A and B are shown apart, each in its own frame.
Chain A
Amino acid sequence: MERNLHRQLANMKKSLFDQGYLDEQFIQLEELQDAANPNFVEEVVTMYYRDSARLIQNIDHALEKNPLDFAKLDNYMHQFKGSSCSIGAKKLKNECTQFKEYCETGNGEGCKRTFQQVKKEYAALKKKLEHYFQFARQVGPVEKACRPK
Chain B
Amino acid sequence: METTGFSSPRPDAFPAGLRVLVVDDDSTWLKILEKMLKKCSYEVTTCNLAKEALQLLRERKDGFDIVISDVNMPDMDGFKLLEYVGLEMDLPVIMMSVDGETSRVMKGVQHGACDYLLKPIRMKELRNIWQHVFRKRIHEVRYIESHEGLEEIQMMRNGMEQSDDGYLFCGADLITGKKRKDVDFKQDDRQSGDPSSVKKARVVWTVDLHQKFVKAVNQFGFDIGPKKILDLMGVPWLTRENVASHLQKYRLYLSRLQKENELEASISGMKPSDVSSKDTADNVCLHNSSTAPQNNDTNGSYVVCGNKIPIKSVDSKICGEDMKIASVQMAESKEELIGVITDPQKSSNSITGLNLSSRQIGSNVRYEPKVPAQFSWTEVPLVQFKQEHKPQFQSQSWSAEVQPVQFKQENKPHFHSENSFSHLPLSKNHIQVDCTEPILSHHPIPSADEKDKQVDIRHNCIKSKSKRKSKGIGIVNPVESKAELFSVQPESLLTVCQEYEPIPCSVWNMKNHSLEHILLNDIDSSQRSLILGIGSGFRLWDEEFQGYSPQGDFYPQNAGFETIESFAHSNQELIADIPPLLYDSLNFDYGNQSEAMEYPVMDQGLFIA
| A82 lies within 8 A of chain B by Cβ | yes
Binds B, one of A2-10, A42-50, A110-118: A42-50
Known: A43-B31, A44-B28. A82 touches B122 (CB 8 A): no
- In B336-387, the 8 Å CB interface with A consists of none
- In B80-138, the 8 Å CB interface with A consists of 97-99, 119-120, 122-123
6 contacting pairs across A/B (C-beta < 8 A): A28-B120, A31-B123, A32-B35, A82-B97, A85-B119, A85-B120
| A15 lies within 8 A of chain B by Cβ | no
For B119, what are the chain A residues with a Cβ–Cβ distance below 8 Å?
82, 85-86
| A39 lies within 8 A of chain B by Cβ | no
State the CA gap A66–B406 with chains docked (Å). Answer: 48
| A91 lies within 8 A of chain B by Cβ | no
**Residues of B within 8 Å of A, CB-based: how many?**
19
| A13 lies within 8 A of chain B by Cβ | no
For A24, what are the chain B residues with a Cβ–Cβ distance below 8 Å?
120
Whether A48 pairs with B28 at a CB distance below 8 angstroms is: yes
Whether A78 pairs with B99 at a CB distance below 8 angstroms is: yes
State the CA gap A27–B25 with chains docked (Å). Answer: 23
What 15 new A-B contacts, CB under 8 Å, besides A28-B120, A86-B26, A86-B29?
Answer: A24-B120, A25-B120, A28-B123, A32-B39, A43-B31, A44-B28, A51-B26, A51-B28, A75-B72, A78-B72, A79-B25, A82-B70, A82-B97, A83-B26, A86-B120
| B36 lies within 8 A of chain A by Cβ | yes
Find the A residue at minimum CB distance from B97: A82
For A37, what are the chain B residues with a Cβ–Cβ distance below 8 Å?
35
For A51, what are the chain B residues with a Cβ–Cβ distance below 8 Å?
26-28
Known: A25-B120, A28-B123, A86-B119. A81 touches B28 (CB 8 A): no
| A135 lies within 8 A of chain B by Cβ | no
Known: A25-B120, A32-B36, A82-B98. A44 touches B26 (CB 8 A): no
CB distance from B154 to the nearest CB of A (A): 54
Whether A85 pairs with B26 at a CB distance below 8 angstroms is: no
Q: Hey, what's the 0/1 contact readout for B17-40 against A, CB within 8 Å counting as 1?
A: 000000001111101100110010
- In A63-105, the 8 Å CB interface with B consists of 75, 78-79, 81-83, 85-88
Whether B31 pairs with A44 at a CB distance below 8 angstroms is: yes
| A132 lies within 8 A of chain B by Cβ | no
Whether B35 pairs with A85 at a CB distance below 8 angstroms is: no
Find the B residue at minimum CB distance from A26: B120
Whether A32 pairs with B99 at a CB distance below 8 angstroms is: no
For B31, what are the chain A residues with a Cβ–Cβ distance below 8 Å?
43-44, 47
Q: Hey, what's the 0/1 contact readout for A12-56 against B, CB within 8 Å counting as 1?
A: 000000000000110011011000010010011001100100000
State the CA gap A144–B36 with chains docked (Å). Answer: 16
Binding site for B on A (CB under 8 A): 24-25, 28-29, 31-32, 37, 40, 43-44, 47-48, 51, 75, 78-79, 81-83, 85-88
Q: Select A29's contact among B27, B32, B72, B99, beta carbons within 8 Å.
A: B32
Whether A79 pairs with B28 at a CB distance below 8 angstroms is: no
Most buried by A among B97, B98, B122: B98
State the CA gap A31–B36 with chains docked (Å). Answer: 10
**What 4 pairs between A and B have smallest CB-CB spacing?**
A82-B98, A25-B120, A48-B28, A86-B28
CB distance from B352 to the nearest CB of A (A): 39
Whether B32 pairs with A79 at a CB distance below 8 angstroms is: no
Whether A40 pairs with B99 at a CB distance below 8 angstroms is: no
For A25, what are the chain B residues with a Cβ–Cβ distance below 8 Å?
120
CB distance from B96 to the nearest CB of A (A): 9
Q: Hey, what's the 0/1 contact readout for B446-459 against A, CB within 8 Å counting as 1?
A: 00000000000000
State the CA gap A24–B119 with chains docked (Å). Answer: 12
Whether B120 pairs with A47 at a CB distance below 8 angstroms is: no
Find the B residue at minimum CB distance from A52: B28
Find the A residue at minimum CB distance from B35: A32
State the CA gap A75–B35 with chains docked (Å). Answer: 27
Find the A residue at minimum CB distance from B122: A28
Whether A83 pairs with B123 at a CB distance below 8 angstroms is: no
For B27, what are the chain A residues with a Cβ–Cβ distance below 8 Å?
47, 51
For B39, what are the chain A residues with a Cβ–Cβ distance below 8 Å?
32
Most buried by B among A40, A48, A82: A82
CB distance from A68 to the nearest CB of B (A): 20
For A88, what are the chain B residues with a Cβ–Cβ distance below 8 Å?
120
For B29, what are the chain A residues with a Cβ–Cβ distance below 8 Å?
82-83, 86
State the CA gap A32–B122 with chains docked (Å). Answer: 11
State the CA gap A82–B121 with chains docked (Å). Answer: 11
- In B11-67, the 8 Å CB interface with A consists of 25-29, 31-32, 35-36, 39
Whether A87 pairs with B28 at a CB distance below 8 angstroms is: yes
For A79, what are the chain B residues with a Cβ–Cβ distance below 8 Å?
25-26, 72
State the CA gap A124–B315 with chains docked (Å). Answer: 69
State the CA gap A85–B122 with chains docked (Å). Answer: 12
CB distance from B23 to the nearest CB of A (A): 14
State the CA gap A83–B35 with chains docked (Å). Answer: 16
For A43, what are the chain B residues with a Cβ–Cβ distance below 8 Å?
31
Find the B residue at minimum CB distance from A93: B98
CB distance from A74 to the nearest CB of B (A): 10
Most buried by B among A37, A79, A81, A86: A86
State the CA gap A91–B372 with chains docked (Å). Answer: 62
For A32, what are the chain B residues with a Cβ–Cβ distance below 8 Å?
32, 35-36, 39
CB distance from A48 to the nearest CB of B (A): 5
For B72, what are the chain A residues with a Cβ–Cβ distance below 8 Å?
75, 78-79, 82
Whether A83 pairs with B28 at a CB distance below 8 angstroms is: yes
State the CA gap A64–B309 with chains docked (Å). Answer: 58
Find the B residue at minimum CB distance from A97: B98
For B70, what are the chain A residues with a Cβ–Cβ distance below 8 Å?
82
State the CA gap A48–B98 with chains docked (Å). Answer: 16
For A85, what are the chain B residues with a Cβ–Cβ distance below 8 Å?
98, 119-120
Whether A44 pairs with B32 at a CB distance below 8 angstroms is: yes
Q: Select B35's contact among A40, A48, A82, beta carbons within 8 Å.
A: A40
For A86, what are the chain B residues with a Cβ–Cβ distance below 8 Å?
26, 28-29, 32, 119-120
